[in-house]
């Protein structure tokens, strides 16, 4: 576990780690508090959701069936139920075109409200969930919600979506459009009531003033591992008051040292984290989440400036608290020779200042060939442009795009941006090596695709520091990290564009929630993709997305009407509003 804390930004594409809660407890000495987030769900809007109530003819009340096209469809009820004695059965034994589906009665909806739909199902073939919206004039708009993979046993699917502007009612449809069968039961459609997070629970002893013995701050703990010499002290110097927590690192090979506060429990939402610091090193802020399932996640936060030995500086960043977090703590990590003092920690509920509209940018790193093979057709399908951060040293090599395949993205309207030549951790390079990686990548892209490309940059592994950012500013108009968050008017930094990272484990519901939040808050959401594989379950790349899931992401984004822009387009849009 200790190794995961070393070089938080440079080891992996996203600075997030999962380890055993038992090991974490042993290291930190924490008494993990139990915590649950308030349930925001409201009443099920669907009548007869378990389809047990039936008419005289055996049809479930408040439900109807429909089929169209050239096919052989059967729409019946069955006693093979998830609960109770009745479920819905849809089957196609032959098909040229068309589909078959069961549908609940339409329900009234509120435009802009987020809804969650769930059902239990099992099936022999793939199917999909669509929404049929009706506006005041009676016009119907059909929107894809999500897909359901074949399942031999009962599975629950869940999709979250936002009702479009102008729509008054909604009817959910589980559509079968291939030979096979689907059995469904126990349906739910709820309007999600937003939970406004309260002011964060108080960090105990945030200014280090309290002590039971005069030698150690109350409610604060020390963490140290690796080959280094770290000394912790309860310093007689503070940003406010007279005390702070100090670390002196006199030798360093690897590992780190940090002060961290007793974990606090927070409602799901976004918070501002503030801390004051001074010293001779550049601290590395990390938030550590204890999840409801007992796992621990470490997530790197935006880097502050190098500490000043004589002047206290304020660090401020926005952190997100997912709904499945029990509690969290934050530490300012020391991983080099020097000293650091910290004081006056605080967390408060955060409400972003939005732009004129929400924006989504679709970014792809490295230039993998399957992004061309599987991703480009989907971008064309939905009429979306992307930003391709190309690794020039891998062009025309196995598994990566050819120069002509990158040109196909440019022709389609996507942006070509730089991701270095060799995908080195830039923070480990000499000044000349750093300059070469930045300039050689840009020069080659411009020779191939014109002088208008490669104006924007993304760091390999998301690794950056003050030195690398200073060098990036000489050649590029922006820097995209892998720090998580949403870009808003009040926290915008074009040289640290924050993102949401897509991994194999990222659910469609999570992506939908990100899109919904960006639209509601009018912020700029940047999604980071890598490989686009037909079967990412067998992939070695943690950051692959399946073709089917990418299709679902783009379909949902399309359904919301949110503006989709390249990074350069979004920069032009938001900078005009600052």
Apex 204 CA angle, 198 and 205, nearest 5: 130
Q: Give dist(CA 576, CA 121) in Å, integer.
A: 48
| Whether 6 and 74 share a structural domain | no
User: Domain for residue 354, yes or no?
Assistant: no
Same domain as 395, residue 277? no
Question: Are 184 and 213 members of one domain?
Answer: no
Domain boundary among 326, 349, 372: 349
Q: Which of 259, 200, 266, 212 lies closest to 33, judged by CA? A: 266
Q: Is there a contact between 66 and 103 (Cβ–Cβ < 8 Å)? A: yes
Does one domain contain both 463 and 342?
A: no
Domain assignment present for residue 481? The answer is yes
pLDDT on residue 538: 59
Question: What would the DSSP string read from start to end of 253-268?
Answer: SS-EEEEEEPPB---S
| Farthest CA pair distance, the chain | 84
* pLDDT tens-digit series, residues 291-337: 988 889 888 888 888 899 999 999 999 888 888 889 999 999 999 99
Mean per-residue pLDDT, 61-85: 93
Q: Domain boundary residue among 154, 170, 191?
A: 191
Task: Return the DSSP state at 368.
Answer: B
Structural domain count of the chain: 3
Residue 71 in this model has a pLDDT that exceeds 50:
yes
Sign (positive/negative) of CA torsion 471, 477, 478, 479? negative
Specify if 67 maps to a domain. yes
Instruction: Fill in the DSSP letter of residue 203.
Output: P
Q: CATH number, domain at 404?
A: 3.20.20.370
Whether residue 22 is predicted with pLDDT greater than 80 in this model: the reply is no
In a domain, residue 312? The reply is yes
307 & 207 share domain: yes
Confidence check: pLDDT of 50 > 90: yes
CATH code where residue 156 lies: 2.60.120.260
* Overall average pLDDT of the 433-449 stretch: 97
Q: Which strand (E) or helix (H) includes residue 370?
A: helix 369-370
Reduced to 3 states, what is the DSSP secondary structure of residue 325? strand
Q: Do 372 and 251 belong to one domain?
A: no
pLDDT digits (tens, 9 = 90+) for 545-575: 999 999 999 999 999 899 999 999 999 999 9
56 lies in some domain = no
296: domain range?
2-38+199-349
Return all residues near 77 (Cβ < 8 A) that are at least 6 apart. 51, 54, 58, 59, 60, 86, 87, 88, 89
State whether 132 and 203 are in the same domain: no
User: Which carries the bigger pLDDT value, residue 105 or residue 156?
Assistant: 105
Q: Which two tokens stand for residue 148?
A: 């359901």
User: Is 52 within the bounds of a domain?
Assistant: no
Of 6-15, 82-91, 261-270, 399-408, give the lowest mean pLDDT range. 6-15
Q: Based on the fold, state whether residues 326 and 391 are members of the same structural domain.
A: no
Per-residue pLDDT at 88 exceeds 90: yes
Same domain for 367 and 291, yes or no, is no
Burial of residue 447, with CB atoms counted within 10 A of its CB: 0-12 exposed, 13-18 middle, 19 or more buried: exposed
**Mean pLDDT to the nearest integer, 493-508:** 91
Q: In terms of domains, do 412 and 396 share one?
A: yes
21 has pLDDT over 50? no
CA distance 288 to 299: 6
* pLDDT recorded at residue 23: 30
Same domain, 224 and 164: no
522 and 555 in a single domain? The answer is: yes
Residue 342 lies in a domain: yes
- 191, 214, 235 — which closes off a domain? 191
| Residue 51 belongs to a domain | no
Pairing of strands 167-176, 99-104: antiparallel
């Amino acid at each position: 576990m200790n190794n995961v804390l070393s070089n938080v930004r440079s080891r992996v594409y996203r600075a997030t780690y999962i380890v055993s809660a038992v090991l974490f407890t042993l290291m930190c000495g924490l008494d993990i508090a139990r915590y649950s987030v308030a349930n925001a769900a409201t009443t099920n809007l669907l009548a007869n959701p378990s389809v047990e109530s039936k008419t005289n003819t055996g049809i479930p009340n408040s439900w109807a069936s429909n089929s169209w096209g050239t096919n052989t469809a059967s729409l019946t009820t069955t006693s093979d139920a998830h609960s109770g004695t009745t479920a819905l059965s849809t089957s196609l034994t032959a098909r040229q075109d068309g589909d078959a589906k069961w549908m609940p009665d339409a329900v009234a909806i509120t435009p802009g409200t987020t809804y969650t739909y769930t059902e239990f199902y099992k099936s022999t073939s793939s199917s999909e969930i669509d929404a049929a919206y009706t506006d005041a004039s009676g016009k119907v708009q059909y929107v894809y919600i999500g897909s359901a993979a074949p399942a031999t046993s009962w599975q629950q699917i869940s999709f979250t979506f936002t009702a479009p502007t102008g729509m008054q009612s909604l009817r959910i449809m589980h559509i079968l459009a291939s030979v096979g069968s689907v059995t469904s039961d126990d349906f739910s459609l709820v309007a999600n009531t937003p939970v406004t997070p309260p002011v964060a629970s108080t960090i105990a002893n945030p200014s280090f003033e309290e002590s039971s013995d005069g030698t150690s701050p109350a409610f604060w703990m020390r963490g140290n591992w690796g080959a280094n010499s770290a000394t912790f002290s309860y310093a007689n110097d503070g940003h406010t008051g007279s005390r702070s927590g100090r670390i002196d690192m006199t030798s360093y090979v690897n590992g780190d040292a940090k002060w961290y506060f007793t974990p606090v429990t927070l409602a799901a939402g976004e918070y501002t984290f503030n801390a004051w610091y001074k010293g001779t090193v550049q601290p590395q802020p990390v938030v550590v989440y204890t999840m409801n399932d007992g796992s621990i996640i470490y997530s790197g936060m935006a880097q502050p400036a190098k500490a000043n030995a004589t002047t206290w500086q304020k660090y401020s960043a926005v952190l997100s608290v997912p709904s499945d977090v029990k509690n969290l703590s934050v530490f300012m990590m020391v991983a080099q020779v020097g000293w650091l003092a910290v004081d006056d920690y605080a967390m408060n509920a955060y409400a972003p200042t939005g732009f004129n509209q929400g924006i989504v940018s679709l970014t792809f790193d490295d230039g993998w060939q399957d992004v061309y093979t599987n991703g480009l057709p989907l971008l064309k399908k939905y009429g979306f442009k992307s930003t391709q951060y190309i690794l020039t040293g891998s062009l025309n090599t196995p598994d990566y795009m050819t120069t002509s395949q990158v040109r196909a993205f440019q022709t389609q309207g996507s942006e070509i941006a730089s991701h270095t030549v060799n995908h080195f951790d830039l923070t480990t390079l000499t000044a000349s090596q750093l300059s070469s990686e930045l300039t050689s990548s840009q020069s080659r892209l411009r020779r191939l695709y014109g002088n208008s490309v490669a104006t924007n940059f993304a760091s390999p592994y998301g690794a950056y520091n003050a030195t690398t950012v200073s060098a990036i500013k000489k050649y590029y108009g922006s820097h995209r990290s892998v720090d998580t968050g949403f870009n808003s008017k009040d926290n915008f930094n074009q040289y640290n564009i924050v993102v949401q990272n897509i991994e194999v484990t990222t659910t469609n519901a999570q992506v939908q929630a990100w899109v919904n939040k960006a639209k509601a808050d009018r912020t700029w959401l940047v999604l980071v993709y890598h490989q686009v594989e037909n079967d990412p379950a067998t992939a070695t790349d943690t950051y692959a997305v399946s073709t089917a899931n990418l299709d679902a992401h783009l379909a949902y984004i399309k359904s919301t009407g949110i503006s989709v822009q390249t990074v350069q387009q979004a920069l032009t849009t938001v900078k005009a509003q600052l």
